[in-house]
Amino acid sequence: MGREKIFYKTKNGLSLEEINNTVSIPKNAGFWKKLLAYSGPGALVAVGYMDPGNWVTSIAGGAQFGYLLISVILISSLIAMLLQSMAAKLGIVTGMDLAQVTRLKTGMKVGFILWILTELAIMATDIAEVIGSAVALKLLFNLPLLVGVIITVLDVFLLLILARFGFRKVEAVVITLIATILIVFLYEVILSQPNIAQLFSGFIPKPEIVTNEGALFIALGIVGATVMPHNLYLHSSIVQARKYNRNNRAELKEAVKFATIDSNIQLSIAFVINCLLLILGAALFFGYSGPLDTLGQLHRALNDSSIVGAIASPVLSTLFAVALLASGQNSTITGTLTGQIIMEGFIHMKMPMWARRMLTRIVAIIPVIVCIVLFGDSESVVEKLLIYTQVFLSVALPFSIIPLTIFTSDKQLMGEFRNKMWVVILAWITTVVLTVLNIWLIITTFQ
C-alpha cells in the first residue's frame, strides 16, 4: 500500500490540494469536541440526497400512495450510509480519492473514459440544479425561466467567494442551507397534521410496493436517485481536509470513526427531509386527482384552499420556493468541488476553479435554454429534463459503486481497514440490486 501511495502522489499530488490537511483537529479533546471538528464533509455529501430532482418523486409518491413508500426511503438511506462510509474510509486510509485510485488501478485509457462518463453525470446533476434554481426564482419573483437560468450562471462565483474564508466556512454555509430546508418542511408537515399511526406503519415494507406497478415505478425512482455517483468521489476527497497523522494507525482509525459518524448523522437529516417531502404529499394531496408532477404545480397547490384546505397560504408556498432555492445553491457548491476532483484524479488535469465552474455551468444551461426557446416559458416542459438527468445518473452509478466495492475490499490497498466479510457481502448485494434497479428504471422510463 505504501509504495502505491508514494508513486501516485509524485504523479498527481494530493486530492483537492488547496483544502487537503487544512482543518485542525484538537488533541486530547473529548468525544463531542472531536466530532464537531470532524463534522462538515457529511453535510456536503448529504446535499446530493435532497436535490430538486428528488422532490417531485417523493411528494408524488405520497400523493399517490400515501405513506406506503416511506419504507423505500428508509432502505435507500441505509444503502447510502453504507456506500458513503466506504468512500470516506477509502480516502482516509489510502490518501487518495476514488478517482485517483481508479486511475491508478485501471490506467490512462479507462481513466479517460470514466472521466467523460462521470463528467457527464456531474453536468446532469448541474442541469437539475439549474432547473430547480430557475423555477424557484420564477415562483418567488415571477422572473421568466430564461432570465432565471441566466442568473444561475452568476452563482459560479459563490464557491470562489466562500473558499477565500476557508473550507470550514463552506461547510457552515451548506449546513445552514440544509437547516433552512429542514425547518421549512418540518413546519409545513406540522401544519398538515399527518396521520401518525399510518406514518409509522409505512416504515414496514409492504408487498404492494412490488405488486402495484405504479408504486414500483416511483419506488424505483426513489432508490435509483438516492445514491449519486459524484457523491462517492466527493466524500473520498473532502474527508482528507482534516489534519490527522496519515502514518499513524490510531489516528487513521479515529478519523474513519468520526468521518462515518458525521456522514451517518448528516444522511439521517437527509432521510428526515425526504420523509417530510413524502409525508407532505401524503397528508395534503393523497386522493387528489389533479396534476402534481412539477415543482410549479406543487407550489400553486400549497396556496389553494380547495386542495390543501384551511392551511393554504402564500406563506406556505413561498417557504416551499425558498427551500427549493436553498437546495439549488447547495448543489452548486458540491458540483464544483466534484468536478475538480474527477478532472485531477482521472486525467491529471488542473484548471482554475472559476474556469472549471464556468465551463460546467455553461454546458449545463445550454439544453435548458434550448428547451425554453423551443417549447416556451413553462416549468412543466423544462422539468421533464429532470427525468432524463436522473436516468443518466442511473447509467453512471455502477461505474462508481463497483470500483468502490472492489477497492475497499482489497487487502493490499486497505490493509487492516479493508471491508469485513459482512460488509463485503452487503456491499455486493447493494451493488447488484442498485445496478439492476437502475437498468429497470431506465427501461420503464423510456417505455
Mark 368-384 as b/e (b = at least 16 C-beta within 10 Å).
beebbeeeeeebeebbe
Cβ–Cβ < 8 Å for 80, 227: yes
Whole-number Å distance between alpha carbons of 430 and 434: 6
Sign of the torsion formed by the C-alpha atoms of 102, 103, 106 and 112: positive
Phi, psi of 207 (to 5 degrees): -60, -30
| Closest to 180 measured CA to CA, from 284, 330, 301, 48 | 330
CB atoms within 10 A of CB 195: 15
Cβ–Cβ < 8 Å for 213, 75: no
Residue 2 is classified by DSSP as H
Q: What is the pLDDT of residue 293?
A: 67
The grid cell for 152 is 444561475
**Which residue segment(s) compose the domain that 382 sits in?**
2-446
Cβ–Cβ < 8 Å for 51, 331: yes
Phi, psi of 288 (to 5 degrees): -75, 130
Cβ–Cβ < 8 Å for 289, 197: no
Query: What tens-digit pLDDT sequence spans the chain (447 residues)?
Result: 443 443 344 355 788 888 888 888 998 888 999 999 999 999 999 887 887 767 777 888 888 899 999 999 999 899 999 999 999 999 999 999 999 999 999 888 888 898 888 888 887 777 777 888 888 888 889 888 888 888 877 776 766 677 677 778 888 888 888 899 899 989 989 988 899 999 999 999 999 988 887 888 788 777 766 677 888 999 999 999 999 988 889 999 999 999 999 999 999 999 999 999 999 989 888 877 777 667 777 888 888 887 777 787 888 888 888 888 888 777 767 777 888 888 888 888 877 777 776 777 777 778 888 888 877 777 666 767 776 776 677 777 888 999 999 999 999 999 999 999 999 999 999 888 878 877 777 777 676
CA 241 distance to own-chain centroid: 20
- Residue 23: strand pairing partners: 242
Q: What is the pLDDT of residue 47?
A: 83
CATH number of the domain that residue 235 is part of: 1.20.1740.10
Whole-number Å distance between alpha carbons of 305 and 312: 5
Compute the radius of gyration of the chain from its Cα atoms. Answer: 21
Q: What is the pLDDT of residue 380?
A: 67
pTM listed for this prediction: 0.88
Q: How many domains does the structure of the chain reveal?
A: 1
Cβ–Cβ < 8 Å for 301, 307: yes
Nearby residues of 326 by Cβ (< 8 Å), 6 or more positions away: 177, 178, 180, 181
Q: What is the pLDDT of residue 276?
A: 93
The grid cell for 67 is 405513506
